[in-house]
Chains A and B, each alone.
Chain A
Amino acid sequence: MLLLISSFALGVLFAFGLTISEMIDPARVIGFLDIAGHWDATLLFVMGGALAITLPLFPWIHKREKSLLGERLYLPIQSHIDARLVIGAAIFGTGWGLAGLCPGPAIAGMASGSGGVWLFVLAMIAGQWLAGRFNPR
């Protein structure tokens, strides 16, 4: 039960970050990616703020045997850079540039009730399912 409460609370906190930074707005994201247009530096500051926390804290958390709730740390085990990683990231980046939406802002953006955002999220889930069928892990 505690795991569910903390997951919910941290989802709320994550959404506050996405909304206060306005990363939920595709116009901001495309503004950052549009280096030949009227460039918007906001996303750079968001990454900087987030990394100011995760860069010093993650190595320290890694040293723990268990999480505060007694769970093991579920960390990625792969370490080599392969074609699958780079091709996947390239496909993701293309979709990100097309709509200015990535998974976090899209899920939080469902709160706006915008049909376009819901359509994006449903297509995203379908895309994940397709990738799983096409190239199962």
Chain B
Amino acid sequence: MPESNLFGGLTGGLLIGLAAALLLLVNGRIAGISGIVGGLITANSLSERLWRGAFIIGLVCGAVIYAWFHGGLPLQLQTSNSGLLLAGLLVGFGTRLGSGCTSGHGVCGLGRRSPRSLAATATFIACGILTVYLTRHVF
């Protein structure tokens, strides 16, 4: 495990916060990635689907640009394919049921001082810590 990347973390965090604030200020939308992805399929108007598609294409393109400058992405998978399949199902199911993920609840919801988002963020961090403890130190 590499050392903590505190400077990159803070810089990247500021950019994420800025992108979330601008999405609300300019477009009037909350930057919750699970909701943006979910609405891509379920939203009933074409314009709702189109802006979501544009944001998601932007997300992928931003990572491509970073990879182009840095000769790749810092991404080491930690689980087998069956683990990724199960985790993906849980993340999709849970974010839909709980109306948000790390960005929607953690960055935007806490920014709005929403008690719901505080409860959700505390819950998913606690469950994440518990899961890592069980998978890394118990089983």
Which residues of A pack against B, CB within 8 Å? 3-28, 30-31, 33-38, 40-55, 57-59, 61-62, 64, 66-69, 71-76, 78-81, 84-104, 106-112, 114-117, 119-132, 135
CA distance A99 to B50 in the complex (A): 29
- Could you list some 17 contacts between A and B, CB below 8 A? A6-B27, A10-B19, A15-B65, A17-B16, A23-B9, A41-B6, A42-B8, A47-B106, A51-B17, A76-B109, A76-B116, A91-B127, A93-B125, A95-B90, A98-B86, A101-B91, A111-B64
Which residues of B pack against A, CB within 8 Å? 1-6, 8-31, 33-34, 37-38, 41-42, 47, 50-52, 54-67, 70, 72-79, 81, 83-99, 101-103, 105-116, 119-121, 123-133, 135-137
CA distance A127 to B61 in the complex (A): 25
Contact (Cβ within 8 A) B108 A54: yes
A93 with B128: in contact, given A98-B79, A104-B59 (CB under 8 Å)? yes
What is the minimal beta-carbon distance from A134 to any residue of chain B, in angstroms? Answer: 8
Interface centre among B16, B77, B99 (most CB of A within 10 A): B16
Contact (Cβ within 8 A) A15 B12: no
A97 with B127: in contact, given A11-B55, A54-B111, A55-B111 (CB under 8 Å)? yes
* Residue from B47, B116, B137 in contact with A79 in the complex, judged by beta carbons closer than 8 Å: B116
Contact (Cβ within 8 A) A103 B73: no
Contact (Cβ within 8 A) A109 B107: no
A22 with B119: in contact, given A36-B133, A102-B101, A107-B59 (CB under 8 Å)? no
What is the minimal beta-carbon distance from A125 to any residue of chain B, in angstroms? Answer: 6
Contact (Cβ within 8 A) B90 A94: yes
CA distance A18 to B124 in the complex (A): 19
Contact (Cβ within 8 A) A18 B119: no
Closest to B129 in A: A33
Residues on B with beta carbons closer than 8 Å to the beta carbon of A14: 15-16, 19-20, 31, 55, 58-59, 62, 103
Residues on A with beta carbons closer than 8 Å to the beta carbon of B12: 16-23, 46, 49
Residues on B with beta carbons closer than 8 Å to the beta carbon of A24: 63, 73-75
Contact (Cβ within 8 A) A110 B60: yes
CA distance A76 to B99 in the complex (A): 9
Contact (Cβ within 8 A) B29 A107: no
Residues on B with beta carbons closer than 8 Å to the beta carbon of A112: 63, 67, 72-73, 75
Contact (Cβ within 8 A) B28 A7: no
